Structure 1
Amino acid sequence: MLVVTILFFALLFLNMPVAFAIGISSVTFFFFEPGLPVEISTQRMIAGTQSFPLLAVPFFILAGNLMNASGITKRLMAFAQALTGHLVGSLAHVSIVLSTVMGGVSGSANADAAMQSRILGPQMMARGYSGGYTVGVIALSSLITATIPPSIGLILYGYVGEVSIGELFLAGIIPGILMMALLMVAAYIIAKKRGYDQEQVMKRASFKEVLTTFRKSFWALLFPVILVVGIRLGVFTPSEAGAFAVVYALIIGFLVYRELDWKSFKQAVGQSVTDNAIILLIISTSSILGFLITYDRLPQSTAEFLLGVTSSPSLLLILILIFLIFAGMFIESTVLVLLLTPIFLPIITQIGVDPVHFGILMMTIVTFGGMTPPVGVTMYTVCSLTNVSIEDYVKESFPFIICIFILIGLLTFVPEISMFLPNLF
């Protein structure tokens, strides 16, 4: 496995796409293991995509793209503005609240950040917000989509680790809302100190105006509620929920809002095909590596090593989380979930940590890696779309990063935050 690891990072360093880096490095293992037929690699690639729960991923990606093309985004933005437009740094708060409600639509941090960079980014900088502050707010608030259902990462974690996706969806709601609150506090303090928007702050929206914007965005806000309740009550499985989400998006787009036309429908389907091709290629090549990890007894070896370092469950969990933080800085979150879940899940189960609780921690941390140097996909996305330098982003996103670490600390030592709703239901 050492050769595989070295080759994998070498290929990443050469900017090879992640799926090919995983596939090529994994196949080399067979040439160093004479008794292992190379044909297994092809079998594992096919088997890795033949999973009923995995159907949820392409369905939710298509539903998210259809909803974005249906005029849902601008209605959610109007609702967020009615709630927070009167606060100092109003557009920053709009971005954070929008990420919270958009989490139930897009399911993807990068998709949410890209959308806000195009829509809110120019508005914020035109009103005097610094570039670094603007992209810091947009990028770090998109992390909320890692926990708010239907998070694509939580679906993948549940699929790989055989953990209830319904419980994961419930467990992510309170951490997502708490993350929103912490980021809003940081955004307000900085905006107040710098005088952002103080002369352009809107008057507080009346109850009638809030109600009007809520009514217009009602169908979008209802979507994640139906998903969570439907899955938890056994009305449909996560895969069936994904199919329902597509039908729901089509009905809302064509019949309710009437903004989804044939042209935008084709664009949404085309974007979904591209998104799904990337994810499923990563999943299929990761299946080869997953087989090799099991074949080489890496989970057992890692468990023995970590348990030899310390017998304290809390310290062991902290060591795993620190490792995930550094891993997230170099490798995309989807890849980490597929590669590391089979390794770490048996260990945390053995030390008495609930797999649902660990799933929320893991997804928050590995998705957060996408907002940090040196290989943060979301970081590069927002900076390139807004023409803000990486240096400015890193410097001004620091207060928001502190908020994320505070949240991770709370979730780690107070598991009831994540487990309250799953236990309640």
Structure 2
Amino acid sequence: MSILSIALIAMFVLFLLGLPIYAALTIAASIALLTSDILPLSVIHSSLFDGLNIFPLLAIPCFIVAGGLMERGNITNQIINVVRALVGRLYGGIGITTILACAVFASITGSATSTVAAVGAIMVPAMMRNNYSPRYAGAAAATGGTIGILIPPSNPMILYAIIANVSITGMFSAGFLPGAIMAAALSFTAWLLAKRNGFKADESVESFSLKAFLGICRQSFFSLATVVIVLGSIYSGLATPVEASIVAVLWALFVGFVVNRSLTLRDIYDSLMEGVMLCGAITIIVGASTLFGKILTYEEAPTRLAAFMVSITDNKHFIMLLIVALLYVLGMFMETLATVILVTPVLVPVLAQLDINPIHFGVVMVMANEVGLLTPPMGVNLFVASRLSGVSVERLSISVLPYILAMTLVILLTVFCEPISTIIPTWLGFN
């Protein structure tokens, strides 16, 4: 039996036993190495350290900390007020506001869970006060939160770029247009559902007035400037993604303390703890996946997978659809970051052989993982939205089906129309 077969069987058994993914990967790889003399045992500790010693990973916990500070520092609420003034008078205006506010908040945190928790905590009660059904409110919040991993700075994109050895800034730029299309598609779906169910406009919002809207923008100037400062520092070349994440933290502290005067020392402590917990989880999983990846590389698993796919078809679009279907299934059982960490090392060599643009594929992978956030039994966003709306996960998973359909159509459009994800990176010189 090959070393790869031993590792895969051990990993599957350990998953069935309920072990955390990092433990299953590390133990399975160690068992495979102990039962063979093909690779030295020193590979275990060197791989684990290599996985921990990746500097760009620092951007992820820092963006999470920044998101926590912005939520607690009243920045999120001000962003919501601006979006509500713009679209609140439409049918389902509060639902559309939820989705668009998630898109804006996503451009600060890069996390789907943080996005749905921060925006949903404000908007779900608002929808229910305006006679929207709890199922509609929960589905809008859960779905809007998925945009958190598509619009930059996206945490899964950072991980993918590190593993696939592509530019993080290039990946960020590739997410803008698909993110805008996805936000528009989800907003249109929210409008259709509201129209069908008779959920009218946000009665607390007056008819749109440019003067009033500009007044709200002026009051929320420092909060809105967060997006420009964070992303502008990256694309202007003034800061790397890691440095920009620090800029986001410092700016959130300034706005929360000095401008809005809403932050407390306890808020800072809670935000830092969120970042520390996520940082620990990610680095352990990356280290374990690096070790497992050594076995995959030795056994030439990516080459074999590429050969198998080409034996089915040489159409790269069809192959990408097969991979999207695989990611849909994996998303039901695995957390997004874990999926990216496990799948990327296997598929990146396949992309090179099939002449698939790695940045284009990275965007499609992240979009497919968005659906995984809405599909049980894993469906992280469903659990957060269920807690906020009081609707069971089972009922909520049915309510998000129209949104999943809309997301799937956008994914198909992106697969077959590559410029959607590559035109901006090409223009900026990353392709």
Q: TM-score range by the shorter chain?
A: over 0.9
Amino acid at match of 1:318: L
TM-score (norm 2): 0.92
Deviations 1:213-237 (A, max 9, x none): 2223333333333343433343222
By how many angstroms is 1:201 displaced?
Answer: 6.7
Query: Which residue pairs with 1:53 in the alignment?
Result: 56
Report the Cα distance in structure 2 between the residues aligned to 1:125 and 1:19, rounded to whole angstroms: 40
CA distance in structure 1 between the partners assigned to 2:262 and 2:93 by the alignment: 28
1:68 aligned partner: 71
Query: Residue type of the partner of 2:190?
Result: A
Q: In the alignment, is the contact (CA less than 8 A) between 2:72 and 2:267 conserved in 1?
A: yes
2:348 equivalent in structure 1: 345
316-325 vs 101-110, which moves further: 316-325
State how 1:326-337 maps to structure 2 within 5 Å: 326-337=329-340
Q: Which moved more, 1:250-259 or 1:176-185?
A: 250-259
Equivalent residue, structure 2, for 1:102: 105
Residues 3 and 378 of structure 1: CA distance in aligned 2, closer, same or farther (over 3 Å): farther
* Pair 1:241-2:244 in alignment: yes
- Other-structure match for 1:197: 200
Alignment correspondent of 1:27: 30
Q: Which residue of 1 aligns with 2:153?
A: 150
TM-score, normalising length from structure 1?
Answer: 0.94
Does 1:357 find its partner at 2:360? Answer: yes
Partner-residue secondary structure (3-state), 2:54 = coil
1:199: Cα distance to partner? 8.4
Q: What is the correspondence of 1:133-144 to structure 2 with a 5 Å cutoff?
A: 133-144=136-147
In structure 2, distance between residues paired with 1:378 and 1:4? 31
Counterpart residue number, 1:214: 217
Distance 1:91 1:49, change over 3 A: same
Query: Is the alpha carbon distance of 1:348 and 1:83 closer, same or farther for their aligned partners in structure 2, counting shifts above 3 Å?
Result: same
2:392 is matched with 389
Question: What percent identity do the matched residue pairs reach?
Answer: 32
Q: Which deviates more from structure 2 when the two are superposed, residues 204-213 or residues 299-308?
A: 204-213
Letter in structure 1 aligned against 2:126: Q
- Range that drifts further, 163-172 or 384-393: 384-393
Cα contact 2:99–2:144 (8 A) shared by 1:
yes
**Alpha-carbon distance in 2 for matches of 1:243, 1:203:** 38
- CA distance in 2 between counterparts of 1:225 and 1:350 reads 38
Amino acid in the other structure paired with 2:187? M
CA contact (8 A) 1:149 1:224 kept: no
Q: Distance in 2 between matches of 1:124 and 1:92?
A: 7
Q: CA deviation at 1:180?
A: 1.2
In structure 2, distance between residues paired with 1:248 and 1:35: 51
1:310 aligns with 2:313: yes
Cα shift at 1:198? 5.3
**Further displaced range: 254-263 or 222-231:** 222-231
Between 18-27 and 183-192, the greater mean CA deviation after superposition: 18-27
Partner-residue secondary structure (3-state), 1:241: helix
Report if the CA contact (8 A) 2:141-2:385 is conserved: yes
Aligned-pair CA distance for 1:70 = 1.6
- Report the more deviating stretch, 382-391 or 357-366: 382-391
What stretches of structure 1 of length at least 5 have no aligned partner?
none
CA offset digits 1:105-125 (Å, max 9, x no partner): 221001111223432223323
One-letter identity of the residue aligned with 2:260 = Y
CA-atom RMSD, angstroms?
Answer: 2.0
1:337-389: CA deviation from partner (whole Å, max 9, x where unpaired): 11111211222233222211111111111232121122222222222343211
- Between stretches 194-203 and 89-98, larger displacement belongs to 194-203
| Equivalences for residues 369-384 of structure 1 within 5 A | 369-384=372-387
Using the TM superposition, name which of 25-34 and 281-290 deviates more.
25-34
Instruction: Report the equivalent of 1:289.
Output: 292
Choose the corresponding residue for 2:90, options 73, 87, 91. 87
Deviation at 1:14, TM superposition (A): 4.1
Structure 2 unmatched runs, 5+: none
1:232 aligned to 2:222?
no
Range that drifts further, 87-96 or 347-356:
347-356
Query: C-alpha separation between the residues in 2 aligned to 1:199 and 1:54?
Result: 41
Q: Measure, in 2, the Cα distance between the counterparts of 1:125 and 1:239.
A: 39
Using the TM superposition, name which of 407-416 and 227-236 deviates more: 227-236
1:94 and 1:80 map into 2 onto residues whose CA distance is 6
Q: Sort the Cα spacing of 1:386 and 1:18 in 2 relative to 1 into closer, same or farther, 3 A.
A: farther
More moved, 331-340 vs 127-136: 127-136
Q: Which residue of 2 aligns with 1:323?
A: 326
In 2, Cα distance between equivalents of 1:24 and 1:335 = 16
User: Which of 144, 154, 163 is residue 166 of structure 2 equivalent to?
Assistant: 163
- Comparing 275-284 with 78-87, greater Cα deviation is found at 275-284
- The 3 A distance-change label for structure 1 pair 202 and 141 is same
Deviations 1:243-293 (A, max 9, x none): 222222222222333322222111211222122222222222222222222
Q: Distance in 1 between matches of 2:135 and 2:8?
A: 35
Contact 1:140 1:371 in 2 (8 A): yes
1:303–1:137 CA distance, 2 compared to 1 (3 A): same
User: Does 2:178 align with 1:175?
Assistant: yes
Range 377-386 or range 71-80, more displaced: 377-386
Residues 5 and 144 of structure 1: CA distance in aligned 2, closer, same or farther (over 3 Å): same
Q: 2:116 maps to which residue? A: 113
